[in-house]
Amino acid sequence: MRVDAFKLPTDGPADVRGLQALLDDGAVRADELVCVLGKTEGNGGRNDFTRDLAMRALEDLLAPRLGLPPARVQDRVVFSLSGGTEGVVSPHVVAFARSGAWSEAPGPKRLVVGTAHTRPFTPAEIGRMPQIEETARAVAELAGELRLAPGDVHLVQMKGAIPKADHEAVLAARRAGAPLRNDMVHSRAASALGVALALGEVARADLSDDVVCDDWSLYSGVASCSAKPGLQRTEILMFGNSDRAGGDLVVGHTVLKDILDVDAVRALLAELGLPVTGGQLAPEQRAHVLGVFAKSEADPRGSIRGRRHTMLSDDDIDDTRHSRGALAAVLASVIGDPCIYVSTRAEHHGPLGGGPLAIIARVP
C-alpha cells in the first residue's frame, strides 16, 4: 500500500490543469485517486460558490476517465475544498492517490488514507449524541480498515451532515422542548466530538447533548470538520501512519494552544525530520512538505495571550477571514510556502482559540 501526494498551485477555482497533466502523463491514474483537498479564493462563507465551481471542474475532468457521469464522481473521489485565501494564502489543491496492497510484514510507518461515510441522519440527531456516536462508530471502523491504532491517526477531515428540515418540523421540535440543531455550528461540533470519542480523546461518560458547544474542555486534536447544508450523511477522510504501508510519506499532528503557537509548529516539523534552524525551513527542506492542514478560530474570550483582539468586533471584516489570514501567515512564515490549508470555525477542535495542525511530508 502506497500513498502519493501532489501539491498543485491553481490560477483559479476551475483550474485543473495540474491534475490533468499528471493524469495525461501517467504519473497518477484516475482510479487510484482517493481525494483532492484545496483552497479556493472565495469568501469561505455559505455563499462561497468558488467551491462548487472547483468541484464541477474536477468532476468534468475525472468523469470520462472513471467511466462515470459527473454527478457520480464524488462517490469515488472525495473533494474537500475550503474557501478563503486571505493574506498570503496561495490557492492550491493537494491530490492523493493510493496504489498497491498491504505489506504482510511490519516496517517503518508510512502514510495511509481512506474514506468512509456515516449512515444518514435525521435533522433531530444533528448536534446531539446520535450524531456523535454514529460518527465515532464510522471513524473507529475506518481506522480498523486502515490498520491504524488510535495514536496513529493524525488527521480526520470531515464534511458533516445537515439534513434539511421543513418549517413544520422546526416548529414541532421547538414546541417539544428540543429545538433542532441542524446547523453548521452544531454539526461541526458533534463531528469533532465523535472523532474524539472514537480515538479515546474523550470518555463516553463525559459526553451528552448538553456538552455540545458548552464544555470546551472536550475536544479532538486531530479532527478538521466542516458541514454542508442538505448533506444527509457525514463524509469522512482519514490520514494516519501504518507499519503495513510503503511509500515515502508520513503525517504528523500537533495541537496549537493559540493562533501564535509557533513553538508547536517547529516541534511538529522536527518530529517529521525537518528541524527549523534558521527561523524558516531551508528550500531543500521545504520541498519535502506536501500538505499543511490547520483549524483556526478567533478566540471567543476576546484576547490572545492577555492582549485584547478585535476580530470578533470588526464589522468590516468577518472574524473567520481575520483568523484564517493570521494563522496562515504564522504557518507560512515558518514553512516558507504560502500553500497553506486553513479552515475556520473550530468548535471542539483543540482548546479555545487554538486548534489542530497536521502536516504531510516526504521522509527526508
Is residue 118 within 8 A of residue 225, CB to CB? The reply is no
Q: Which residues on neighbouring strands pair with residue 157, listed in sequence order?
A: 224, 237
Q: Is 329 one of the annotated binding-site residues?
A: no
Q: Is 324 one of the annotated binding-site residues?
A: yes
Q: Is 188 one of the annotated binding-site residues?
A: yes
Q: Is 51 one of the annotated binding-site residues?
A: yes
Q: Is 208 one of the annotated binding-site residues?
A: no
Residues 6+ apart with CB under 8 A from 334: 262, 265, 266, 269, 276, 279, 280, 281
Q: Is 83 one of the annotated binding-site residues?
A: yes
Residues 6+ apart with CB under 8 A from 123: 163, 164, 165, 169, 173, 180, 182
Is residue 185 within 8 A of residue 253, CB to CB? The reply is no
Q: Is 80 one of the annotated binding-site residues?
A: no
- DSSP H helices in the chain: 17-25, 50-66, 129-145, 167-175, 184-198, 262-271, 283-286, 319-335
Residues that are catalytic: 159, 226
Q: Is 2 one of the annotated binding-site residues?
A: no
Is residue 131 within 8 A of residue 190, CB to CB? The reply is yes
CA dihedral in degrees (236, 22, 65, 16; nearest 10)?
70
CA angle 28/34/40 to nearest 5° reads 90
Annotated binding site for substrate: 51, 82-83, 188, 226-227, 324, 343-344
